[in-house]
Amino acid sequence: MNTKSKCILAFVDAPDPDNFALILGIVRLFPRADVRIVLTGRPVRFGATKEHALWDYDSKDSQMAQQASAARIKNFLRHFGVNIAHVYDGGIAPRTLVPHWIHFEEYYKFLDLDPLLAMRHSELDPLEDLIRVMKKTAECVAVVGGPMTGLAKLIERSPEVAGKIQEIHAMFATWGEVKLMQMDDKPRGALQFNVACDPAAAFQVLTGMSCPVYLMPSEVTRVRDIGFQNAQALRKALPDNEGTRALYNLYAIWYDAAVKPRQDKNPGELIFIHDLSSAFSLHPRLRKQIYEVVPIQIDAVPHLLNEVGDWGKVLMRQVPESANRFAGRRLKPSGAKHYLKALRRIFEST
């Protein structure tokens, strides 16, 4: 599909800074496309302590954080001369693997945003507005940088929209070969964050959509050669401009809250810009240069109550050929070089 002048639906979650990189990547790689952003919030509880369980979140806090994150997206993109008029409401993911107390720093230190703007409740547009736009759109592609919550809600609300989506590219799943750890230091095994946040939505999209789906699993995003020791290392790899300085501020918070605690116990833990992989996957030349992509068959996406131990897994295997399901297997020998080159270009001033 020629995406140069088509509609691209960007499904992102908050507050990870790599979602901002994903949106900017899409805009820069496809400057003529009509980019529509759908934001899924994460379940959180403001002022949480380490004693609060993952299920013990607050719906109002989660909604406020989502609305503030919509403002942060718009504000961040303005540093690069990108003005986004609409960020659509992709709902709140039903689950999280991140303890609520970790998000305190991210949601309260709005270094990139006026605190008054962070308190606004008018930054999200209803999903119905996007459906009206899509009903007038011949075709589009979907790029997913978080749980499938927003995409599943869109399809549930208006099933005819599903037929307009020609491809899906998602930072999603794992082959189970990378060493992933929970925030409590227990091994995660083959569970992947974006899948685990909404297993039912993952099942609906991966088994229900007939269009080609490209998955970029952790094996092609959690690669040391494209990771950064800390926020300062990331800043050195990027050009210096107003936008990258704003990104540095975000990653400094993210590093302290989410990366350093794990890095202290596992020196191999780095900053990885995971979600950008789905934008690179959408771009045929970059996908070919960076990733070894293989045809797959998805055997199951556990989501039922009697499968709770496997929520977060996509049971997939490589097959000789497939018409509509593919997954990244590893980076190509020169993949890291092409990745870092493309990363730098995305963040250059226009």
Q: What is the mean pLDDT of residues 86-91?
A: 95
Residue 249 has pLDDT above 90, yes or no: no
Q: What is the per-residue pLDDT across 43-72, written as a single tens digit (0 to 9) for each?
A: 998 888 889 999 999 998 888 888 888 888
Return the percentage of the chain with pLDDT > 90, whole number.
Answer: 69
Least confident of 20-24, 65-69, 132-136, 138-142: 65-69
Alpha-carbon distance of 38 to 53, in angstroms, equals 28
Burial of 115 by CB count in 10 Å (0-12 exposed, 13-18 middle, 19+ buried)?
exposed
Q: What is the mean pLDDT of residues 267-295?
A: 95
| pTM passes above 0.85 | yes
Domains of the chain: 7-346 (3.90.245.10)
The rounded Cα 57 to chain-centroid distance in angstroms is 21
Q: In this predicted structure, what is the pLDDT of residue 157?
A: 94
Residue 125 has pLDDT above 80, yes or no: yes
Residue 108 has pLDDT above 60, yes or no: no
H helices present in the chain, as ranges: 18-29, 59-78, 104-108, 115-118, 127-135, 149-157, 193-196, 199-208, 218-221, 231-237, 242-254, 260-263, 276-282, 284-290, 335-346
Q: What is the per-residue pLDDT across 149-175, written as a single tens digit (0 to 9) for each?
A: 999 999 999 999 999 999 999 999 999
Nearest residue to 113 via CA among 275, 10, 250? 250
Q: In this predicted structure, what is the pLDDT of residue 325?
A: 98
Q: In this predicted structure, what is the pLDDT of residue 112?
A: 54
Alpha-carbon distance of 101 to 52, in angstroms, equals 8
Burial 54-67 (b: 16+ CB within 10 A, else e): eeebbeebbbbbbb
Residue 227 has pLDDT above 80, yes or no: yes
Q: In this predicted structure, what is the pLDDT of residue 222?
A: 93
Specify the pairing of strand 291-300 against strand 325-331. Answer: antiparallel
Least confident of 18-27, 34-43, 183-192, 340-349: 183-192
Residue 350 has pLDDT above 80, yes or no: no
Alpha-carbon distance of 73 to 15, in angstroms, equals 10
Residue 144 has pLDDT above 80, yes or no: yes
Tokens of 254: 């993210």
What does DSSP assign to residue 138? S
Residue 1 has pLDDT above 60, yes or no: no
Q: In this predicted structure, what is the pLDDT of residue 6?
A: 85
Between the alpha carbon of residue 279 and those of residues 16, 59, 133, 294, 342, the distances in Å are 16, 31, 22, 18, 11
Nearest residue to 183 via CA among 118, 289, 107, 263? 263
Q: In this predicted structure, what is the pLDDT of residue 100?
A: 85
Q: Find the farthest-apart pair of alpha carbons in the chain and give their distance in angstroms, rounded.
A: 55
Residue 182 has pLDDT above 60, yes or no: no
Residue 111 has pLDDT above 80, yes or no: no
Between the alpha carbon of residue 96 and those of residues 183, 196, 197, 241, the distances in Å are 11, 7, 5, 34
Q: In this predicted structure, what is the pLDDT of residue 268?
A: 79
Residue 107 has pLDDT above 70, yes or no: no
Specify whether the CB–CB gap between 11 and 145 falls below 8 A: yes
